[in-house]
Structure 1
């Protein structure tokens, strides 16, 4: 089956890779791809130093360094003379492909919504593997091939796993064993698996081996929100992303998220955002529109 132009336009609208070669002058790169609304950037600095401009924040990178950041408007990377590495600009759609939807994907989703910056890394094996994934992504975007979307997602998944390990988040999650945080993490795992099945809170409590009241108490005491509110926020976040960044119709979004009808989905969305799905999608096409800020942040789960 031949690879169509539309397929490659789709690939290149969701990812861009720049190899940063050593030069005698400083250079500045926009973090955004320019062909899509870049959501995230990954920077692997193999030598030299650089500065990341993230709105009001400025971060310093000292090689060997790894950074994972959400991309603000006008975000940039300024690379000093004598520096080398890679800059990856990535859409939210491709990041979601890399993260996956299984329970084991929760740590990567947790990480993808946060900022990671590790300077002067001393794990040589990890650096070699990170560089290999960056090289593979760069080559794939240049040469093309069948199943490129899955190929890019697989290498990006490896990169995120390295970010998770190097950031220390893996150790933090393991320390949460047998605590309320561990139960909340298990609740989040189950939510990822069964969100589209619209489980009742009693179903989650039963799967966790605790009572409905105890789950409610843990969520309210830890996050000041009920288990149902957390699920609704998660589902609203997913709906917003699909309306903003996919070409699915509203009927397809509703079906994909497990709603029994478009009417049911529209009522749920309006109750949680104050807007109909159609109005939200139309208004969100304008970057300055306040509607784009409605997307709920899932990062407050443990």
Structure 2
């Protein structure tokens, strides 16, 4: 975890006022290579330039969410103003956290495509959050990791809801799909508590055997396997993306002691937590199938 004094290495907040000529912003350049970005465009025009050669015009007022997977740059036309905010994977982990909605937000942020909206109500709702994020980073005397993370969580939740993500998830789900989705949400909220599967089943209003049948038939894994996979996924993310020591990570994941956590992690991955972290640091910026590749990996 970075200290507040180092927040500018992990978050980006910029105001680009109207200019006499167009400006080009490279989202994934240098320090910002793996940042998620949001663009709040005022009256005027801009254009996204994708690695594939595709170009997409943007007409303000407009809000655009650009995940790092989109691989594009932004050109802001002369006379157009824009706010730009970005967050590193470390800030995104803190912002998304592990609450009921976290699973949905993780899937949302792992998508490869651009999300844009010119809905005036959504732009008006997110606008003050973007401005607050920029103002927080603009004052070095108070720039706070906690505040930046809180703003980012609100921005993500507002956009996810405004982009109809909540209703799309519920659409077309039968009873089985609904139970599985609710189980995922319960796991997201409670995987650190190491509750027995019978507790989850009771909260869902089904028997443990029924929950086992749904998970096994739909995903080919038992409820306890899915629960353990979620714990391992979070452990990997924290080992890769935070500076916390093994005991702190063990405590944050609800294990009774770091030795038990280490045995659990090695049994599931074949590596000790320290060994995994060493490989993660050596593989920084490289593709490595051993590493956690994203939030969407947990089904």
Partner of residue 253, structure 1? 249
1:164 CA displacement = 0.9
Partner of residue 43, structure 1? 39
Q: TM-score, normalised by structure 2?
A: 0.83
1:237 CA displacement = 1.4
Give the alignment of 1:195-214 within 5 angstroms: 195-214=191-210
Partner of residue 79, structure 1? 75
Q: Which moved more, 1:41-50 or 1:10-19?
A: 41-50
Distance in 2 (CA, whole Å) between partners of 1:99 and 1:215 is 26
Over 3 Å counting, the alpha-carbon distance change for 1:283 and 1:58 in structure 2 is farther
Q: TM-score, normalised by structure 1?
A: 0.82
1:258 CA displacement = 1.7
| 8 Å Cα contact 2:69/2:113 also seen in 1 | no
* Counterpart check, 1:96 vs 2:96: no
Give the alignment of 1:151-170 within 5 angstroms: 151-170=147-166
Give the alignment of 1:224-235 within 5 angstroms: 224-235=220-231
Over 3 Å counting, the alpha-carbon distance change for 1:120 and 1:262 in structure 2 is closer
Partner of residue 264, structure 2? 268
Alignment equivalent of 2:23, drawn from 27, 46, 58: 27
Partner of residue 186, structure 1? 182
Which 5+ residue runs of structure 2 have no aligned equivalent?
A: none
Partner of residue 3, structure 1? none
| 8 Å Cα contact 2:36/2:87 also seen in 1 | yes
Over 3 Å counting, the alpha-carbon distance change for 1:105 and 1:278 in structure 2 is closer
Distance in 1 (CA, whole Å) between partners of 2:155 and 2:170 is 20
Give the alignment of 1:57-68 within 5 angstroms: 60-64=56-60, 65-68=62-65
- State the Cα deviation string for residues 211-249 of structure 1 (Å, max 9, x = none): 222212222333333222222221111111111121111
- How many pairs align? 294
Distance in 2 (CA, whole Å) between partners of 1:263 and 1:57 is 51
Q: CA RMSD for the aligned pairs?
A: 3.1
Distance in 1 (CA, whole Å) between partners of 2:52 and 2:262 is 37
1:59 CA displacement = 6.5
1:198 CA displacement = 1.3
Distance in 1 (CA, whole Å) between partners of 2:269 and 2:132 is 40
Distance in 1 (CA, whole Å) between partners of 2:144 and 2:55 is 32
* Counterpart check, 1:14 vs 2:22: no
Q: Which moved more, 1:155-164 or 1:104-113?
A: 104-113
| 8 Å Cα contact 2:13/2:86 also seen in 1 | yes
Over 3 Å counting, the alpha-carbon distance change for 1:288 and 1:149 in structure 2 is closer
